[in-house]
Amino acid sequence: MQIIRRYPLSLLCIALIWVLCFCHPPQTSMDGVPGIDKLAHVVMYLGTCGIMWWEYLRHHKALRLRHAVLWLIVMPVLMSGVIELLQEYTTVHRGGDWIDFCANTCGVVLGALFGRYVVWPYRKRQARETKE
C-alpha cells in the first residue's frame, strides 16, 4: 500500500504502457512518418522513467545508486523486453521488435540521465534552501 501512495504517477504510467502495448493500434495520419513508432517508444519510456526518478527522489533524501539502478533502469528495461516477447508470442495484432526494445531502452537511459542530472540536483538544491 505504501508503494501506491509513494509512486502513484509511476504506477499509472507503467499501467498505461502495458495497456498501450497490447491494445490494437489505431490508424492515424502519422502512420506514414518514418520512425514515428520508435519516437513514441522513446517518449513513452523517457516520460515514465523521468516520473519514476522524480517520485523516487522525492521520497529518498540520499541517492542509493544500486537501488536506483535496479528499480529505475534495470526493471524498466526488463519490463520492456517482457512486453516485446509477449507481443510476439501472445498477440496477433502486435509483434515483438528488437528495434522497439532498443527505443524503449534509449528512453530509459534518457530518463535516467534526466533524473540523475536534472531532478537530483534540483532536489538537492531544494533541500539546501529548506534548511536555510
Residues 116-127 pLDDT 10s = 999 999 988 888
Average pLDDT over the chain, rounded to an integer: 91
Contacts of 24 (CB under 8 A, 6+ apart): 93
Rounded Cα gap, residues 27 and 76, in angstroms: 27
Among candidates 97, 103, 112, which has minimal Cα distance to 48?
112
Q: What confidence tier does 70 reach under pLDDT thresholds 50, 70, 90?
A: very high
pLDDT tens, residue by residue, 13-65: 999 999 999 988 777 777 778 888 899 999 999 999 999 999 998 888 888 88
